[in-house]
Amino acid sequence: MRSSTLLLALLLAGPAQAQTRVSDAWVRATVAQQLGTGAFMRITSAQGGRLVAVQSPVARIAEVHEMTMQGDVMAMRAIESLELPPGKPVVLRPGGHHLMLMGLKQQLKAGDTVPLTLVVEGREGRRETLEVKAVVLPLGADAPKR
Ligand SMILES: [Cu+2]
């Protein structure tokens, strides 16, 4: 009994738990001198959680953004966290929730790969770190063709 409890604890604590999955990650290409762009993807959290932090080596600042109406104008703003309901994919896409990369250190060209680190806080406050490789798609891209 005791050893199986320990084993379960190790399994739950191990890096292989991967309760959250990211797919179809992409970043919109930039032109020279452009300082910000969006990153988009599908996130599925098996047990539910919240996306609480984002980082990328290509950007000085990375935030989770939502779109809101301010009068007649669509605007975006940073949010503290993004709710990930259990088992239900959350799609980040142009015009909706997205990750904002700001203070870009380099131009992002179509075909490049951008590393992103996502931190998801699960129930009981346990944090999961996801390393994501996002492909850079051309400026006019809307979503990856599958
Ligand atoms: Cu934004």
Secondary-structure class of domain 18-137 per CATH: mainly beta
Has residue 142 got a pLDDT over 90? no
Has residue 121 got a pLDDT over 70? yes
Has residue 134 got a pLDDT over 50? yes
Average pLDDT over residues 42-51: 96
**Burial of residue 138, with CB atoms counted within 10 A of its CB: 0-12 exposed, 13-18 middle, 19 or more buried:** exposed
Calculate how far, in angstroms, residue 95's C-alpha sits from the geometric centre of ligand 1: 9
Q: Which pTM value belongs to this model?
A: 0.84
Grade residue 21 by pLDDT with cuts at 50, 70 and 90: very high
Residue 111 and residue 27: Cα distance in Å, rounded? 10
Query: CB within 5 A of ion ligand 1: which residues?
Result: 65, 76, 100
Has residue 34 got a pLDDT over 80? yes
Calculate how far, in angstroms, residue 123's C-alpha sits from the geometric centre of ligand 1: 27
Percentage of the chain modeled with pLDDT above 70: 85
* Cβ contact 102:35 at 8 Å: yes
pLDDT the model gives residue 141? 72
Calculate how far, in angstroms, residue 39's C-alpha sits from the geometric centre of ligand 1: 9
Residue 21 and residue 16: Cα distance in Å, rounded? 12
Residue 36 and residue 77: Cα distance in Å, rounded? 14
Calculate how far, in angstroms, residue 127's C-alpha sits from the geometric centre of ligand 1: 24
User: Which range is least confidently modeled, 8-22, 53-67, 125-139?
Assistant: 8-22
Please state, rounded to an integer, the average pLDDT across all residues of the chain: 89
Calculate how far, in angstroms, residue 40's C-alpha sits from the geometric centre of ligand 1: 11
Taking alpha carbons only, the member of 66, 63, 61, 139 closest to residue 102 is 61
Has residue 78 got a pLDDT over 90? yes
Grade residue 16 by pLDDT with cuts at 50, 70 and 90: very low
CA 109, 139, 65, 51 dihedral sign is negative
pLDDT the model gives residue 70? 87
Grade residue 145 by pLDDT with cuts at 50, 70 and 90: low
